[in-house]
Amino acid sequence: MALKSTPVLFGLLTRLSRRTFSTSKALASKPVTVRDALNQALDEEMARDETVFLLGEEVAQYDGAYKVSRGLWKKYGDKRVIDTPITEAGFAGIAVGAAFAGLKPVCEFMTFNFSMQAIDHVINSAAKTFYMSAGAVPVPVVFRGPNGAAAGVAAQHSQCFGAWYSHCPGLKVLMPYSSEDAKGLLKAAIRDPDPVVFLEDEILYGVPFAMSDEALADDFVLPIGKAKVEREGQHITVVCAGKATDTALQAANELAGEGIECEVINLRSLRPLDFDTIARSVAKTHHIVTVEQGWPQSGIGAEICARVMESPSFFELDAPAWRVSGADVPMPYARSLETLALPRPPDVAAAVRAVLANRQVDDDDTHPQEQLHL
């Protein structure tokens, strides 16, 4: 039986601090928070390329709502770190226009929920202009900020936009998990000639992850469109991204005590999606579960399951593909309900056991079955 989770935020930080994280080298040199890794990436890219600038609400004199841009205004000044009014449609439009003109703006949304105010610029201007101009007008803009559930901020501040934006051709969509992900992927996003939606996680900002000497170097960049196998295993493939990666890894640790070895794949990139890594893993394990914090319908897990069904990977499966997702409801404000609306390690563990046994998940296995979706 899966253990009950501790209160959301403190439990998360405690579990994260206990766990050993995978890095690009076996020996890590120092722990770095996700917040500081993002700050390093911005600082290094602004120092490297004078066309890179940051704009958004409170990013300059206040050092950012989440302190991701700490110290950058003092270092680079008003022309490259720009405080904007509270008008997402306005400053997102400025960012896209600046990209049209050859600059490399990094546009921060205080939360991606507010990007809905600017979605016309993101989709119709940023994502489509390179195609509509027959390749004459590249749009090297990055839209970044916290995405998905935080804690106690209710329905209008808790949506995951991974599926929303990865639906749109012309955008690249990244969802980092660790500090290494955050730094390497943000630097790649800033250098990329296409518009990139960069989905961070507020809960992970203050979490330290070990970073290798390679990852701490100024020239460290991760490739866009390449997943990372966070944990190797031979019994079942668990595919996830962002905060869901921690949920999957916790479940994998629990299941390892039962002799079940999960191969946990951190997607890193939602579009382009590294299906080759998923397919290789499924060919080895013959089972797959996807984990995401977003809603189930038309979600990332649904896309992965569809690709498995439409490819030779289908013939590798010994049981149906399963999804573990957020509940199909607006995010509740009450903490007890908020906890139930998000996937937890016991939910993932129950899904894994059910897939390996090729049976339905029982109510005794986990909390209400609406959390799991075939």
* 166-189 pLDDT per residue, tens: 999 999 999 999 999 999 999 999
Query: Which of the following is catalytic: 44, 45, 57, 88?
Result: 88
Q: What is the pLDDT of residues 122-171, one digit of tens each?
A: 999 999 999 999 999 999 999 999 999 988 899 999 999 999 999 999 99
Q: What domains lie within the chain, and their CATH numbers?
A: 32-216 (3.40.50.970), 228-358 (3.40.50.920)
Q: Looking at the DSSP assignment, which residues form a beta bridge with residue 30? A: 211
- Of 121, 157, 235, 287, the active-site residue reads 157
The pLDDT value recorded for residue 302 is 98
Cis previous bond, 272, omega within 30: yes
User: Around Cβ 77, how many Cβ atoms within 10 Å?
Assistant: 11
Predicted local distance difference test score (pLDDT) of residue 365: 52
Neighbours of 19 (CB within 10 A): 12
Better pLDDT: 41 or 366: 41
Q: Say whether 157 is catalytic.
A: yes
For strand 196-200 and strand 172-174, is the pairing parallel, antiparallel, or unpaired?
parallel
pLDDT band at 61 (very low <50, low <70, confident <90, very high): very high
Which residues, in sequence order, are CB contacts of 220 under 8 Å at separation 6+? 183, 184, 187, 214
3-state secondary structure of 185: helix
Query: Cα-flanking dihedrals φ and ψ of residue 291, to 5°?
Result: -130, 130
In terms of pLDDT, which residue wins out, 365 or 340? 340
Q: What gap in Å lies between CA 15 and CA 351, rounded to an integer?
A: 21
Examine the pLDDT at 6 and tell me if it is beyond 50.
no
Residue 362, pLDDT above cutoff 80: no
Report the share of the chain in percent with pLDDT over 90: 86
DSSP bridge pairs for 323: 290, 373
pLDDT band at 2 (very low <50, low <70, confident <90, very high): very low
Phi-psi map region of 300: left, alpha, beta (phi>0 left; psi -120 to 50 alpha): alpha
67 has a pLDDT exceeding 90:
yes
pLDDT tens-digit series, residues 307-330: 999 999 999 999 999 999 999 999
| Predicted local confidence at residue 307, as pLDDT | 98
Query: What DSSP designation does 94 have?
Result: H
pLDDT for residue 246 is more than 80: yes
Confidence of residue 358 (pLDDT cuts 50, 70, 90): confident
Q: Are 350 and 2 in contact (CB under 8 A)?
A: yes
Residue 305 tokens read as: 């399951």
88 catalytic, yes or no? yes
pLDDT at 152: 87
Average pLDDT, the chain: 90
Contact present, 179 and 209 (Cβ < 8 Å): yes
Q: In the predicted model, what is the mean pLDDT of residues 202-227?
A: 96
Burial of 135 (0-12, 13-18, 19+ CB in 10 A): exposed
pLDDT tens string 9-32: 334 434 444 343 444 444 446 899
